[in-house]
Amino acid sequence: MRTKSYLVEEAWKLLEDSVVYFGDRPVGTVAACDPTVEALNYDQCFVRDFVSSALVFLIRGRSDVVRNFLIETLALQSSDKQMDCFNAGRGLMPASFKVKTWEGGQYLTADFGEHAIGRVTPVDSCLWWLILLRAYVKATGDIDLAHQPEFQQGILLILKLCLADRFDMYPTMLVPDGAFMIDRRMGVDGHPIEIQALFYASLRAARELLLPGYKRDIYIQIINQRLSTLNYHIRQYYWLDLRRLNEIYRYRGEEFGEEAINKFNIYPDSIPEWVADWMPERGGYLAGNLGPARMDFRFFTLGNLMSVISSLTTVQESQGIMDLIEQRWQDLVGYMPMKICYPAVVDLEWRILTGCDPKNVPWSYHNGGNWPVLLWFLAAAAQKTGRQEMAWRAIEIAERRLSEDAWPEYYDGRNGRLVGKASRKYQTWSIAGFILANELMENPKYLSWISFDEDTEMQEWLYRLKELEASS
């Protein structure tokens, strides 16, 4: 078997080969370099995919690539984003971009979803952009970049878009289906935990990046209020463990008014059969989604791990999530860390939720496939919670197959034993994720670039809210 250092070096060479140049400046990485299949849009640089590459570049002293990426994507934010003459919100960041050549010159074209399959809105891009900008500043100390007027303007445009008044009674962010890594119809519209965790982390990032002054003072107040209510809402209503499950199981429906215990009118009959067996005695997780008479009991990996990394969950809940992963290892890690969500939707539910999507058949792709990129999120969460042995175990599993299988995008099957049916080979975030997981384990200091401690700034808010709740 090839040694770890051989694998990491192979990955690093592949990562360097995936770099996209704009003129002579490196500005990103392509999504995949698989010469055997049609590129579709995998020859583009995706904002969400690049975050994994970017963190590796920051670690390896190539902050220039990240800086260029941040500058170029910021410029794209103000470019035309129209579909059928409809203008998208100004703060929106593209899902991906590409370098094009025309009459001997080069220019960047972006896709804000108007070209993407299913015309999905990339809500997560602007959130990732803020998280990455903060990581760049932490890694390089170059706060001046974030303080430049164009950057401040870009941050404010994102904040305006995310914090705008809407028809909504919850502090969580309402999004259409396929607004993030799961960028196809999968029943993840509404208030998916994947977006809420990124929203929370990005607000915390923005708070650190705003230049002191008049506008900052106003925005800090708005951000703090949102952070505290969002934090309260997620901890209070999304958390699931055996105790909570018992409560929901005995819920009464149709409660009106302030006294209601079952605030969202969740009917016990909507609890899927698998949950009661699957929920471990110790530990728990955040539900996938919550709305009127709707609780999605599926476990979503990125949302849960990002909640641990950003301290959206309490210290105890974070440990609970790691406990769950440890006890449901075969289901969630199996032969390739790790599953994007659990379990898969099947039969009629698959027909209704995915619209009969042949790529998202049960235990494949977004519908319960195993994605190697998620290895680094697991490593970061393990490092944060002091559960390092879990991360090492997962890395060892990935090592056995990733390089041999030519760094696939995803794996299929209940335990991720088969290379995904339509999976790309040499998928950049699989490659970068492997390096990053190893780096995070060997040098814990890198964790602080991407993680957040319990928020003391808004503790006061929480305290007041709880008092209010108790007195009502």
* Binding residues for ligand GLC (CB under 6 A): 31, 46, 48-49, 181, 183
Instruction: Give the shortest CB-364-to-ligand GLC separation in angstroms.
Output: 12
When the beta carbons of 40 and 356 are compared against ligand GLC, the nearer one is 40
Q: Distance (Å, rounded) from C-alpha 442 to C-alpha 206?
A: 28
CB 100 within 8 A of CB 107: yes
| Residue 101 phi, psi (nearest 5) | -110, 135
Would you say 146 or 186 has its CB closer to ligand GLC?
A: 186
- Closest approach, Cβ 155 to ligand GLC, in A, equals 23
Determine contact, residues 97/109, Cβ cutoff 8 Å. Answer: yes
Of residues 388, 266, 262, 390, the one with CA closest to residue 324: 390
46 versus 363: smaller Cβ distance to ligand GLC:
46
Q: How far is the CB of 178 from ligand GLC (least distance, A)?
A: 8
Crossing angle of helices 123-140 and 149-163, rounded to 10°:
140
Question: Exposed, middle or buried by CB within 10 Å (0-12, 13-18, 19+), for 455?
Answer: buried
**What DSSP character marks residue 289?**
E
Considering the complex, state which of residue 177 and residue 183 has its C-beta at the smaller distance from ligand GLC: 183
Kindly give, in sequence order, each residue whose CB lies less than 8 Å from that of residue 85, ignoring residues fewer than 6 positions away: none
- Please say which residue, 56 or 210, places its beta carbon nearer to ligand GLC: 56
CB 23 to ligand GLC: min, Å: 24
Q: Which is nearer to ligand GLC, 46 or 299 (CB)?
A: 46
Residue 181 C-beta: closest distance to ligand GLC, Å: 4
> Which residue number, 373 or 395, has a Cβ lying nearer to ligand GLC?
373
Residue 78 neighbours by CB distance under 10 Å: 13
Which CB sits closer to ligand GLC, 183 or 241? 183
Tokens 């969950």 sit on residue: 313
**Beta carbons within 8 Å of 368's beta carbon, 6+ residues apart:** 339, 340, 341, 342, 343, 344, 362, 414
C-alpha to C-alpha distance for 195 and 359, rounded to whole angstroms: 22
User: Which tokens sit at 147?
Assistant: 């303080």
Smallest distance, ligand GLC to C-beta of residue 421, A: 14
- The rounded distance, in Å, linking the Cα atoms of 313 and 395 is 24
Nearer to ligand GLC, 17 or 389 (CB): 17
Q: How far is the CB of 199 from ligand GLC (least distance, A)?
A: 17
- Helix 459-471, helix 214-233: angle, nearest 10: 50
Q: How far is the CB of 209 from ligand GLC (least distance, A)?
A: 24
Cα 104–Cα 110–Cα 113 angle in degrees, nearest 5: 150
DSSP 8-state class, residue 173: P
* Shortest Å distance, C-beta 455 to ligand GLC: 28
Closer to ligand GLC at the Cβ: 176 or 280?
Answer: 176
- Provide the angle, in degrees to the nearest 10, between the axes of the packed helices 123-140 and 47-59: 10
* Cα distances (Å, whole numbers) of residue 82 to 186, 336, 425: 25, 39, 32
For residue 66, the minimal CB distance to ligand GLC (Å) is 18
Nearest residue to ligand GLC, scored by beta-carbon proximity: 31
